[in-house]
Structure 1
Amino acid sequence: MSRFLGPRLKKIRRLAVMPGLTKKKYISCDKKKKLIYFQKSQYRIQLEEKQKLRFYYGITEKKLLIYMHIALRSKGSTGLFLLKLLETRLDNIIFKSGIASTIPEARQLVNHGHIRVNGNIVDIPSFQCNPKDIFIKKNYEILTFNKIIHNKFLYFKINELLVVEYYSRHT
């Protein structure tokens, strides 16, 4: 699977401060840079929101499109269902539970087979977890996934409706 291997701090500066992608602290230095003011188009705003989701969760365009098609078929709010699908990924739950300090570190823990779900070794970071799933780390630390997190409790600001609008324009 392809993933972004470039400099993460550049992406964080470009898109916004998104905790969970690096252990490094980002300090803004706007004094040296000249500010250029320009009007952002609606398409660019939608594209940036989509890129935030892709980069934060570490997924490809194809996988995000698959999640989007699943969310479009669901009943209820498409944007909230899309966030629910992304938040219930195994690598994200491992990060949110505190076992890993970054999302890439959580992906690595899952890939190497250090996590068991309901007694079975799972080595797929995109594994969709359900409430009441039990996670066991290699050193027998037991965690239970209780509830699905609402978009108010995300670590970064995202407008999921702009992502839905972006994909509705392209499909």
Structure 2
Amino acid sequence: MKRGKLYKREQFNLGYFTNSKKKIRFSIRKNYYSDYNIKLRAKQKIKRIYLIKEKQFFNYIKKCFSKPIKLLYILESRLDSILYRTGLFKTIKEVKQFINHKNVIINNNLNNISSTIIKINDILILKKKIINISSNKNFYFYKNKILILKIPFFKNIKFISLQDIFGFYRK
């Protein structure tokens, strides 16, 4: 699917592409959206933000069905999300490729799975040197090592309706 369609459908920048110079205008549709459509859009939006497949997302929903806020904690504590929030990479796709090429070591164990859950005080070692190191309250950088001090939360939480996402699966 073309990026313009994804921008228009979700009505905000998903952050897949950083080179987009063209601004996309969002048209407010006057059509009526059904309850099912609103819930489906909310689910698709969060899946597209974190680039997660349906089966994996459904497993996360089953894990935290009693506490919806736990879903955001699980999604933000994934390895790809943590590395993206450090500011060392421009897009989540770039992070996933970096992880798939076995460039990340977690607590002295080689890892190439981007859905690995990271805990506080875990040490991430990056095999390749990354130049742009930004200071962050959630992470401590030392050479090519990253110490996780705190799990960061998604900044644009107002775009995500957890009630709609869990309502979609209640049926």
TM range (shorter): 0.7 to 0.9
Residue-by-residue CA offset, 1:14-66 (whole Å, 9 max, x unaligned): 11223432113351246xx7x64111111111100000111111111111100
Counterpart for residue 3 of structure 1: none
Counterpart for residue 24 of structure 1: 19
Give the match's secondary structure for 1:39: coil
Give the match's secondary structure for 1:136: strand
Percent identity between the two aligned chains: 28
Unaligned 5+ segments in structure 2 are: 130-142
Unaligned 5+ segments in structure 1 are: 1-5
Q: CA deviation at 1:154?
A: 4.0
Equivalent position amino acid for 1:157 in 2? F
Contact (CA 8 Å) 1:115, 1:123: kept in 2 or not?
yes
Contact (CA 8 Å) 1:136, 1:142: kept in 2 or not?
yes
Normalized per residue, which structure has more helix? 1
Counterpart for residue 62 of structure 1: 55
Root mean square deviation of aligned Cα: 2.1
Structure 2 Cα separation of the partners of residues 36 and 88 of structure 1:
35
Equivalent of 1:44, from 31, 37, 54? 37
Structure 2 Cα separation of the partners of residues 147 and 164 of structure 1:
26
TM-score (norm 2): 0.82
Over 3 Å off, 4+ runs: none
Give the match's secondary structure for 1:56: helix
TM-score (norm 1): 0.82
Structure 1 Cα separation of the partners of residues 115 and 158 of structure 2:
20
Contact (CA 8 Å) 1:79, 1:163: kept in 2 or not?
no
Equivalent position amino acid for 1:92 in 2? S
Contact (CA 8 Å) 1:19, 1:156: kept in 2 or not?
no
Structure 1 Cα separation of the partners of residues 15 and 149 of structure 2:
21
